[in-house]
């Protein structure tokens, strides 16, 4: 019995040593290749792994490490990225790094007047291109795949009908033999006079002049035709007369996006109104849906119910359908003229409810739809959590003469909340930011005022979306990110209140 | 005495069945409209009725014949299946540590876990795409447009609210059971695998189902990371039929949604005996 | 062991990315309707040149966003299909490559469709155009009205909300569908300066726009048109034969016919002598600035895409009005197609400059509040235009 762990320990140690050896081997290779980022990552990872497996104090983290690793990579890193973007000007027109923008601008071409084209023929063996022969009206060249231009007289050419049959002994390639090889020459700019030659089509090279030249010393761009000088300003090249060139580039702007939010009433004008509805929306949705889910879980946990397996399966149907279609079906129900609800109400009672047109009813409709969408989740979770409640507790309560309602409030509910309350907080956070549902059902409508971008049912996230993507010039991802960060801080603040309770719950559970 | 009690028992039984059926009606009637749409030849959501005028199977036929629908279904099962099983394991590991060990940083980790999940993922998508794109340049099987890459991304959400959920459940499992295993010479990990996990079966099953459905219906990440119709998961594949303003083909979408929902229902039906097989107690007893 | 290490190393160090555009191969992102056509043309191209063509199916609504993310990362395609109003945003961000269309080929395209894809220079090759017209139920409206007065007279006769039956409807609130009204008397969105749209000249509250909005407002006031009439609602009514006339696009024809309605299409009636100018939407292909295959792509587009057979195949797959004139000439005898073509002959391309993003929301709000009679057209449009000016920050 004692030997087994010993063997296990040795095996573990051996494996770790082997892995470490491999890591060292890799690191050497990475260093050789100059892939320093990989070197750092691999070495850091290995060190962390060793610490985890060798240190006693890190023992609990052995259980946490795998999950935390994925969390860090796929949740925390994107979070950091969002925060970073919120400090930049990342938006339509400013998506690329500066060097990319400069590259695109300096590669802008002018076709000289008159245009010059060089039809070509190719030479080599199938699968390998030796050279091209460019015919430029008395100015012919031999062009090698590496971009070298050479005068025809330096080469052995056998002509027939004005076109070489072979070059340096290599025969002419045609059609499907030639095109895939020629395609590899795309993107190559062969310096020629004051511009360059490049593959224009599969049969011709063309001569092009640059529209702009970049002066790295002055960090300016000069228009070759007009001589206009563009200097960088706010992420774009701008001429003295105010003309700005597309594309611009990404640069950090410090707190500018946040400042804009607090300064410009367009951004924060409706914030409080939206926030209050947002909280109400999340709280009411979660409360109703949990109440319904829990009630159904209790109902269906009853062993006496014959068909409960079937019942349960049918009840999770809303969860199994894509919200994308079911929400739109609900939207059709709510339609004022032809919706199922109003047609029924009208034929029975002669009334029509302005489901999505009136502020109150639009909010009501949203919550109703969300309860339908989410109660199966609550039911599942409650069903699972119910299984953890020891039966003896009920017996004890029964002996004490507690009725079923008292048993529920004093035994079931408190115990259930231990495991379920974090999920409720999670649901709250999810609902708080449930952009998709709002977007599909009401788009934030009904409209309250023109151009404030916040309708009566907009939540902070949909409001932020409208602010960021109905901006002055296409999409302002940087502003969207800043708003996302602000919303995150708000959600934390609101949820903070609930955390105090989870601590209390944990104390309760420890007593068990 | 006995007959009176029996009468109340019957009344209750009836009431419970009645309530269950009311709830089922509430659950199903919008769903039936989805089914109706899938049989409706007009492809239009607005003209939807529960029973269309001229029902047709054309959407189902086209879906299976002209589109790699079964491949999408297979991809979904693969991605969602692997993700949910690995998630449940990672989650349980974490929850066990949080429940059983007292260590520095425990409370902080728990709190961070909860907070981090509340971040609105608007632009995180771009970061994830770029990360995976870079990863793919060095490990092609793990890059953009691979299923392992997508699974990797999904596993990022593995530790989260579910860890808390499981931790709560583990807290209610008496420690005495593991302690006796430890006395017998098992390592804590062995005790976890052999004693705690089997006892936690209901919660594991619940998390598997929840996670499976979440991944099954996840659209945004999958649509950004997967390219090419043979790689698509169901939610991305079906979205091919939407997106062109007034030309959305709801009939096709609904047909796919119905077939997908049947899969989910089958999964749930199969797993639910695990969910209610709580070993620690009989729960609500009459 | 060494084999394993080699394998691990190969995996760890090796490999490029198969997903994005590759040099020597053309990658196209298309929606599922157009994918088969591009696949067929791609096969022809491969046969002729030996160069492979891959078509990736993506939901139309996702193409623009995913292209924006993927292209700068080197994971985008060479060619995307899309709508002309994406051009401003994508080109301003540096993601599109200029297309130098030879004059002989340019002459074969409808002029407006090429203008639509122009943002400084040409950034796309169109295949279809579309817009809205007056669509009518022939049973209720035997001959379409030519003037607004005629339309009103018919609408009054046919409308009976208790049935319900409506003589004339138009989707509202919806900026797109309200533009024929605003433009009939000279209203505009952005003014034109030096042949380019000028984002500093917002015409949403110009006298013409307000006059047009009043015509629309009068319909609500008189009770001829119910407020908040969405796509879902009116298409159902139309398919049931409960609507006489509607301003809509070709996309509604199928639904109406599904209900057994015999429909006709005519230009939108003149409003006090003013000709309504609907927005023209144009679909086409665009080329990525990050394509490593610019020469191949031009070759492919000019010699295999801009051809009668390809354009005809695209038309057959989804019958929108062809932008390629030889194909248009071959199919223009179709009365429905012709009706729409006549209507949009008066139209203007939907503005393609990125500043349009600041317009839609405020404009929508204004139309919503006009529709439910909360605000007068002059007030609502003025407020909307002021908000737009404030957002665009023009001095």
| pLDDT, tens only, A203-242 | 899 999 999 999 999 999 999 989 999 999 989 999 999 8
State mean pLDDT over A249-254.
93
| pLDDT, tens only, C197-251 | 999 999 999 999 999 999 999 999 998 988 777 787 788 889 889 999 999 999 8
What was the pLDDT predicted at A332? 82
Hunting for tokens 């219906």 — which residue is that?
B217
Q: Are residues C178 and C107 in the same domain?
A: no
* Cβ–Cβ below 8 Å for B46 and C235: yes
The percent of residues above 70 in pLDDT, for chain C, comes to: 95
Residue C12 inside a domain? The answer is no
Query: What residues does C55 pair with on adjacent strands?
Result: C28
Give, in order, the Cα–Cα distances in Å from A88 to each of A92, A482, A484: 12, 10, 14
Residue C370 inside a domain? The answer is yes
Distance between CA A311 and CA B255 in Å, rounded?
Answer: 23
What was the pLDDT predicted at C373? 87
Closest chain B CA to residue C58: B240
Hunting for tokens 């009334």 — which residue is that?
A351
Q: Are residues C196 and C286 in the same domain?
A: no
Q: Are residues C107 and C36 in the same domain?
A: yes
- Using CB atoms, which residue from B41, B67, B144 is nearest to C19? B144
Residue A399 has pLDDT above 90, yes or no: no
Helix (H, G, I), strand (E, B) or coil at C368: helix
Instruction: Measure CA B124 to chain center.
Output: 22
Instruction: Measure CA C226 to chain center.
Output: 26
Residue C11 inside a domain? The answer is no
Give the predicted TM-score (pTM) of the model. Answer: 0.87
As annotated, the residues of chain B forming the CATH 1.10.3720.10 domain(s) are 82-233
Which residues in chain C have their CB less than 8 angstroms from residue B130's CB? 73
Longest dimension (CA), chain C: 89
Q: Are residues C48 and C108 in the same domain?
A: yes
Distance between CA C23 and CA A188 in Å, rounded?
Answer: 12
Residue C369 inside a domain? The answer is yes
Instruction: Measure CA A274 to chain center.
Output: 25
Range of the domain at C357: 133-280+352-392
* Cβ–Cβ below 8 Å for B168 and A330: no
| pLDDT, tens only, C335-367 | 999 999 999 999 999 999 999 988 998 999 999
If phi > 0 it is left, if psi is from -120 to 50 it is alpha, else beta; for residue B172 that is: alpha
Which residues in chain B have their CB less than 8 angstroms from residue A70's CB? 90, 152, 155-156, 158-159
Q: Quick one: DSSP state of residue A474? A: B
Which residues in chain C have their CB less than 8 angstroms from residue B125's CB? 69
What was the pLDDT predicted at C384? 93
CATH classification at residue C61: 3.40.190.10
Q: Are residues C250 and C155 in the same domain?
A: yes
116-145 in chain C: CB under 8 A from chain B: none
Confidence label for B237 from pLDDT (cuts 50, 70 and 90): very high
Closest chain A CA to residue B212: A320
Q: In this predicted model, which residue has the larger pLDDT, B52 or C317?
A: C317
The percent of residues above 90 in pLDDT, for chain C, comes to: 72
Q: In this predicted model, which residue has the larger pLDDT, B250 or B279?
A: B250
**A409-415 contacts at long range (C-beta below 8 A, 24 or more positions apart):** A412/A298, A412/A386, A412/B284, A414/A508, A415/A388, A415/A389, A415/B172
Which of B62, B64, B35 lies closest to B51, judged by CA? B35
Distance from CA of A30 to the nearest CA of C (A): 9
Kindly state whether A95 is in contact with chain C, defined as any CB-CB distance less than 8 angstroms.
Answer: yes
Q: In 10 A of CB C44, how many CB atoms?
A: 14
119-138 in chain A: CB under 8 A from chain B: none
Q: Are residues C334 and C358 in the same domain?
A: no
Crossing angle for the helix pair C175-184 and C207-222, nearest 10 degrees?
A: 120
Burial B146-170 (b: 16+ CB within 10 A, else e): bbebbbbbbbbbbbbbbbbbbbbbb
- Using CB atoms, which residue from C49, C89, C368 is nearest to A474? C89
Q: Are residues C261 and C146 in the same domain?
A: yes
Whether the CA torsion C98, C104, C108, C110 is positive or negative: it is positive
* Cβ–Cβ below 8 Å for B119 and A488: yes
Distance from CA of C74 to the nearest CA of B (A): 9
The set of chains that have 3 or more CB pairs under 8 A with A is B, C
Tell me which H or E stretch contains A165: strand A163-167
| pLDDT, tens only, A123-171 | 999 889 999 999 988 889 999 999 899 999 999 988 888 889 999 999 9
Terminal-residue alpha carbon distance, chain A: 33
Confidence label for A512 from pLDDT (cuts 50, 70 and 90): very low
* Cβ–Cβ below 8 Å for B284 and A412: yes
Average per-residue pLDDT for chain B: 84
Confidence label for B85 from pLDDT (cuts 50, 70 and 90): very high
Hunting for tokens 């060292």 — which residue is that?
A24
Whether the CA torsion A301, A306, A307, A311 is positive or negative: it is negative
What was the pLDDT predicted at C374? 87
Q: Are residues C195 and C239 in the same domain?
A: yes
The percent of residues above 90 in pLDDT, for chain A, comes to: 37
What was the pLDDT predicted at B48? 60
Residue A2 has pLDDT above 70, yes or no: no
Kindly state whether A73 is in contact with chain B, defined as any CB-CB distance less than 8 angstroms.
Answer: yes
The structure tokens listed for A359 are 């502020």
Residue C367 inside a domain? The answer is yes
Terminal-residue alpha carbon distance, chain C: 71
* Cβ–Cβ below 8 Å for A66 and B93: yes
Residue C63 inside a domain? The answer is yes
Which of A452, A85, A444, A77 lies closest to A258, judged by CA? A85
Q: Are residues C86 and C220 in the same domain?
A: no
Q: Are residues C126 and C201 in the same domain?
A: no
Which of A299-308, B100-109, C5-14, C176-185 has the highest mean predicted lDDT (pLDDT)? C176-185
State mean pLDDT over C314-322.
92
Helix (H, G, I), strand (E, B) or coil at A74: helix
Residues 6 or more apart in contact with residue C81 via CB below 8 angstroms: C28, C29, C30, C31, C34, C60, C63, C283, C284, C285, C286
* Cβ–Cβ below 8 Å for B240 and C17: no
Q: In this predicted model, which residue has the larger pLDDT, A300 or C29?
A: C29
Kindly state whether A115 is in contact with chain C, defined as any CB-CB distance less than 8 angstroms.
Answer: no
Residue C88 inside a domain? The answer is yes
What was the pLDDT predicted at A6? 55
What are residue C368's phi and psi, to 5 degrees?
-65, -45
Burial class (CB in 10 A: 0-12, 13-18, 19+), C195: exposed
| pLDDT, tens only, B18-48 | 888 999 999 998 899 889 889 888 777 765 6
The number of domains in chain C is 2
Which residues in chain C have their CB less than 8 angstroms from residue B126's CB? 69
Domain covering B82-233, topology: MetI-like fold (1.10.3720)
Q: Are residues C240 and C148 in the same domain?
A: yes
Residue B286 has pLDDT above 60, yes or no: no
Residue A277 has pLDDT above 60, yes or no: yes
Q: Are residues C365 and C298 in the same domain?
A: no
């Amino acid at each position: 019995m004692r030997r087994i762990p010993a063997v296990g320990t040795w095996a573990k140690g051996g494996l770790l040593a082997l892995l470490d050896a491999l890591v060292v081997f890799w690191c050497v290779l990475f260093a050789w290749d100059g892939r320093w980022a990989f070197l750092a990552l691999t070495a850091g990872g290995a060190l962390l792994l060793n610490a985890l497996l060798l240190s006693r104090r890190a023992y609990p983290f052995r259980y946490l490490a795998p999950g935390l690793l994925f969390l860090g990579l796929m949740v925390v890193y994107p979070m950091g990225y969002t925060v970073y973007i919120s400090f930049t000007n990342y938006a339509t027109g400013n998506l690329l790094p500066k060097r990319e923008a400069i590259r695109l601008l300096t590669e802008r071409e002018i076709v000289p007047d008159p245009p010059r084209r060089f039809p070509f023929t190719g030479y080599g063996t199938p699968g390998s291109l030796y050279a091209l022969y460019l015919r430029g009206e008395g100015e012919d060249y031999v062009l090698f795949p590496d971009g070298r231009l050479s005068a025809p007289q330096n080469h052995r050419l056998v002509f027939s009908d004005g076109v070489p049959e072979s070059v340096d002994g290599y025969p002419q390639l045609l059609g499907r033999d030639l095109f895939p090889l020629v395609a590899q020459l795309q993107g190559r700019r062969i310096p020629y006079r004051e511009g360059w030659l490049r593959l224009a089509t599969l049969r011709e090279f063309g001569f092009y002049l640059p529209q702009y030249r970049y002066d790295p010393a002055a960090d300016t761009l000069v228009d070759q035709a007009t001589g206009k000088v563009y200097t960088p300003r706010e992420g774009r090249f701008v001429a003295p007369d105010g003309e700005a060139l597309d594309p611009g580039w990404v640069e950090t702007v410090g707190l500018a996006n946040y400042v804009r939010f607090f300064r410009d009433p367009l951004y924060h004008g409706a914030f409080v109104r939206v926030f209050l509805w947002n909280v109400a929306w999340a709280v009411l949705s979660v409360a109703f849906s949990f109440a319904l889910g829990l009630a159904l879980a209790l109902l269906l946990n009853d062993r006496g119910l014959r068909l409960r397996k079937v019942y349960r399966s049918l009840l999770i149907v809303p969860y199994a359908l894509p919200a994308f279609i079911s929400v739109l079906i609900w939207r059709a129900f709510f339609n004022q003229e032809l919706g199922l609800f109003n047609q029924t109400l009208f034929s029975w009672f002669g009334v029509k409810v302005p489901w999505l047109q009136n502020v109150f009813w639009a909010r009501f409709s949203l919550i109703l739809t969300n309860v339908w969408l989410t109660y199966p989740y609550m039911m599942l979770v409650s069903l699972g959590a119910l299984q953890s409640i020891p039966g003896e507790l009920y017996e004890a309560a029964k002996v004490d003469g507690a009725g079923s309602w008292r048993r529920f409030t004093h035994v079931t509910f408190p115990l259930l909340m231990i495991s379920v309350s974090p999920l409720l907080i999670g649901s709250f956070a999810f609902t708080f930011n449930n952009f998709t549902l709002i977007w599909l059902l009401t788009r934030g409508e009904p409209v309250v005022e023109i151009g404030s971008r916040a309708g009566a049912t907009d939540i902070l996230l949909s409001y932020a979306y409208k602010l960021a993507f109905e901006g002055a010039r296409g999409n302002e991802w940087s502003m969207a990110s800043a708003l996302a960060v602000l919303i995150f801080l708000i959600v934390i603040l609101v949820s903070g209140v609930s955390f105090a309770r989870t601590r209390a719950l944990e104390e309760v559970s420890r007593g068990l | 005495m006995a007959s009176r009690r029996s009468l109340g028992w019957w009344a209750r039984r009836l009431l419970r069945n009645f309530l269950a059926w009311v709830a089922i009606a509430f659950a199903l009637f919008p769903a039936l409209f989805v089914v109706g749409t899938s049989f409706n030849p007009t492809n239009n959501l607005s003209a939807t009725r529960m029973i269309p005028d001229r029902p047709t199977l054309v959407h189902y036929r086209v879906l299976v014949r002209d589109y790699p629908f079964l491949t999408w279904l297979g991809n979904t099962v693969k991605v969602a299946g692997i993700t949910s099983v690995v998630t449940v394991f990672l989650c349980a590991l974490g929850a066990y540590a949080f429940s059983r060990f007292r260590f520095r940083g425990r409370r902080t980790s728990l709190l961070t876990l909860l907070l981090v999940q509340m971040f609105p993922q608007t632009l995180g998508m771009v970061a994830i795409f770029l990360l995976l794109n870079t990863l793919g340049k060095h490990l092609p099987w793990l890059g953009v447009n691979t299923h392992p890459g997508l699974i990797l991304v999904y596993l990022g959400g593995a530790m989260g609210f579910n860890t808390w959920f499981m931790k709560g459940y583990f807290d209610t499992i008496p420690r005495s059971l593991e302690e006796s295993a430890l006395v017998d010479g098992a390592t804590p990990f062995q005790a976890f695998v052999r004693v705690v996990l089997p006892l936690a079966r209901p919660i594991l099953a619940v998390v598997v189902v929840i996670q499976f459905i979440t991944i099954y219906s996840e659209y945004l990440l999958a649509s950004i990371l997967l390219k090419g119709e043979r790689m698509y998961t169901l939610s991305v594949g079906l979205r091919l039929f939407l997106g062109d303003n007034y030309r959305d083909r709801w009939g096709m979408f609904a047909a796919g949604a119905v077939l997908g929902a049947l899969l989910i229902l089958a999964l749930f039906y199969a797993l639910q005996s695990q969910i209610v097989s709580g070993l620690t107690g009989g729960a609500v007893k009459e | 062991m060494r084999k394993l290490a080699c394998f691990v190393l190969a995996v760890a160090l090796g490999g490029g990315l198969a997903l994005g555009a590759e040099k020597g191969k053309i990658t196209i992102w298309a929606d599922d309707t157009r994918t088969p056509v591009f696949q067929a043309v791609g096969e022809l191209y491969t046969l002729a040149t030996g160069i492979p063509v891959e078509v990736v199916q993506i939901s139309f609504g996702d193409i623009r966003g995913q292209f924006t993310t993927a292209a700068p990362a080197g994971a985008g395609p060479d060619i995307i299909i899309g709508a002309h109003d994406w051009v401003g945003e994508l080109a301003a961000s540096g993601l599109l490559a200029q297309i130098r269309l030879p004059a002989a080929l340019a002459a074969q395209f409808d002029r407006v469709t090429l203008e639509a894809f122009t943002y400084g220079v040409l950034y796309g090759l169109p295949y279809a155009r579309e817009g809205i017209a007056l669509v009518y139920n022939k049973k209720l409206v035997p001959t379409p009205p030519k003037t607004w007065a005629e339309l009103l007279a018919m609408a009054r006769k046919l409308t009976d909300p208790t049935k319900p039956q409506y003589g004339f409807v138009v989707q509202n609130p919806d900026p797109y569908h309200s533009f024929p009204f605003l433009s009939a008397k000279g209203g505009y969105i952005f003014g034109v300066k030096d042949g380019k749209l000028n984002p500093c000249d917002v015409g949403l509250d110009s006298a013409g726009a307000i006059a047009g909005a009043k015509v629309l407002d009068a319909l609500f006031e008189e009770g001829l048109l119910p407020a908040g009439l969405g796509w879902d609602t009116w298409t159902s009514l139309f398919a049931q034969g409960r609507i006489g006339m509607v301003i809509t696009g070709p996309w509604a024809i199928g639904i109406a016919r599904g209900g057994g309605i015999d429909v006709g299409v005519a230009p939108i009636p003149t409003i006090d002598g003013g000709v309504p100018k609907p927005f023209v939407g144009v679909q086409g292909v665009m080329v990525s600035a990050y394509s490593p295959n610019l020469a191949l792509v031009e070759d492919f587009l000019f010699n295999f895409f801009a051809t009668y057979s390809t354009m005809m195949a695209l038309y057959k797959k989804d019958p929108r009005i062809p932008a390629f004139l030889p194909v248009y000439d071959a199919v223009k005898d179709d009365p429905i197609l012709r009706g729409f073509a006549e209507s949009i002959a008066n139209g203007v391309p939907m503005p393609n400059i990125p500043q349009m993003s600041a317009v839609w929301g405020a404009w929508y709000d204004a139309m919503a509040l006009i529709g439910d009679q909360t605000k007068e057209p002059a007030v609502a449009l003025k407020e909307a235009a002021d908000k737009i000016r404030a957002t665009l920050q023009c001095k």
